[in-house]
Amino acid sequence: MVDGFVHDDKDYSYGKGGEMKIGFYGLLAIVFIVLKLTDVIHWSWWWVLSPLWIIPASFLLIIVPIALLRERTKNKRLLRQWRG
């Protein structure tokens, strides 16, 4: 624990020298924010911040239905075993 916060090294991406690296989508978000704040683009903040939420949302839209489908088939299989 440093400065009152728990830091987990697994949450970050580090380079060879131990410096923290930013990914493509993080960099794209920074570029969009700078362009928005300097009035170069006139997009909604939803689209300016889209590099930060599109990837997790896409992941959820794929993983949640798969998990629900697996749970449903698992429950059907258990029900068949229970009934005999």
Digit-coded pLDDT (tens) for 12-61: 566 677 777 888 999 999 999 999 999 999 999 999 999 999 988 998 99
- Those residues whose C-beta lies under 8 Å from the C-beta of residue 36, and which sit 6 or more positions away, are 43, 45, 48
Give a yes or no: residue 42 inside a domain.
Answer: yes
Domains of the chain: total:
1
Give a yes or no: residue 46 inside a domain.
Answer: yes
User: Given pLDDT bands bounded at 50, 70 and 90, which one contains residue 7?
Assistant: low
Residue 75: give the domain boundaries.
9-83
> pTM for this one?
0.58
- Cα–Cα distances in Å, from 76 out to 5, 33, 69, 81? 44, 48, 11, 9
Residue 9 has pLDDT above 60, yes or no: no
Give the residue ranges of DSSP H helices in 1-84: 24-37, 45-48, 50-83
Q: What is the token pair recorded at 26?
A: 């993080």
Give a yes or no: residue 3 inside a domain.
Answer: no
